[in-house]
Amino acid sequence: MQIHVVQQGETVYAIANLYEVTPNSIIEANELETPGQLVVGQALVIPIEGQFYFVQPGDSLYEIAQRFNTTVEQLIQLNQLQPGAMLPVGYRLYIPQQPKTNITSNAYIEPFGGEVSEALRTAAERRAPYLTYLAPFSYRITTDASLQAPPLDNFKAIAQANSAALMMVVTNLTDEGFSDELGRQILTDEQFQNTLLDNIVATAKEVGFLDIHFDLEFLPSNLRENYNRFLRKAKQRLTNEGLLLSTALAPKTSGEQVGQWYEAHDYAAHGEIVDFVVLMTYEWGYSGGPAMAVSPLDQVRRVVDYAVTVIPPQKIMLGQNLYGYDWTLPFVQGGEFARAISPQQAIQIARENNVAISYDEKAQAPFFTYTDTEGKEHEVWFEDARSIQAKFNLIKELNLKGISYWKLGLSFPQNWQLLNALFNIEKNR
């Protein structure tokens, strides 16, 4: 799969001619609603097997072969080159497609208002072929150890039709947010735990969940060992019932990281106890904070580099956002929250305001600024084909288990095209 960044004056037809594909194939792959109005800096995926590379100053055939994990001999053969020939700058080389890697994928899906919208149902149907797990968010633990279920609609049928498994997400979430008080009750009351596990197993059997996924956040920091003991207890019970156990982990860079979001999450213990973990490697840029990349690669790498020292890589799923934010400037702490947007919406905003999209090489993330009709300045950070490719490269480099998306319902077609081109998605059924 080729990634092409739109330059000034380019059209879909010119780009299609460059890569010897049809304009319609580019339009369909990128779900272009206005193909006649491309945005400078917009990243397009070009649906071809393998990719083309345009020779840059200083390139050698050996360096290009190393970069793309192929051989000089293969490049010479495929491109009908003369051995030892000098390649002019701009020369187009065909790079063969590499073997796909097997990974596990998950996507959370969060219904609102007590029902599943038609748009959310459609998103589940369209993306389930690319998923190992579909994870309705969430079963809320109540103060009597019962479970408040999310709307499930026909998610089970969608999962089954696509050989995906359902993941049962269990949280200490209340209407006011993640509750440390409820977290304390869960982790310190043995009878509460027994009742809770009874209810989880009964629900899992009734609905047909394969994995039980604890997303317990903002736990009291002194209950780290309590959480570990609870997970050991849960693991034994769930294994006896033929169920898997996984957890969501805050993005830590060391075992001593302080803060209520981090301290009760013991990476090493989770890596030992559970079947796999999801690293919540996003929200550096968040709705209530200053404008920045949501999942900057340099920060994500710091988390993963620590994680693989205490958790087997084959148990780690990288968390990945399917959204961006539109901040109104100047940022004021406690002021107006940023608006969550999909990558497709971000491109639309750039197009409507006639601004180019820039790319931050350190964060590996696209961004732009614009002025709205009221004269207010905005800064937008989002995801595109380049940024998701960088995360996929990290997964392959460190041999991670896979990727977990937050969350379905936000349009990002380039992600699914690249995921399908690079990986074989493992299925549970």
- Nearest CA to 19 out of 42, 57, 49, 63 is that of 49
Catalytic machinery residues: 217
Long-range contacts of 28-35 (CB under 8 A, 24+ apart): 29/413, 29/414, 29/417, 30/413, 30/414, 31/344, 31/411, 31/413, 33/348, 34/351
The first and second tokens of residue 137, run together, are 């968010």
- Nearest CA to 263 out of 273, 274, 254, 276 is that of 254
Strand locations in 176-311 (E): 177-178, 209-215, 244-249, 276-279
First CA to last CA distance, the chain: 28
**Spatial distance between the Cα atoms of 12 and 38, rounded to a whole number of angstroms:** 8
* Residue 180 vs residues 26, 160, 161, 257, 346: alpha-carbon distances, Å: 48, 36, 38, 18, 35
C-alpha neighbours within 13 Å on the C-beta side of residue 153:
24
**Spatial distance between the Cα atoms of 319 and 105, rounded to a whole number of angstroms:** 10
User: Are 16 and 22 within 8 A, CB to CB?
Assistant: yes
- Nearest CA to 139 out of 220, 207, 200, 201 is that of 200
| Phi/psi of residue 225, nearest 5 degrees | -70, -35
> Which amino acid is it at 348?
Q
The first and second tokens of residue 99, run together, are 């073997």
| Phi/psi of residue 295, nearest 5 degrees | -135, 70
By three-state DSSP, how is residue 73 classified?
helix
- Nearest CA to 428 out of 101, 138, 100, 105 is that of 105
- Nearest CA to 155 out of 128, 129, 119 is that of 128
- Nearest CA to 266 out of 298, 228, 230 is that of 228
- Nearest CA to 328 out of 318, 314, 338 is that of 338
**Spatial distance between the Cα atoms of 410 and 113, rounded to a whole number of angstroms:** 17
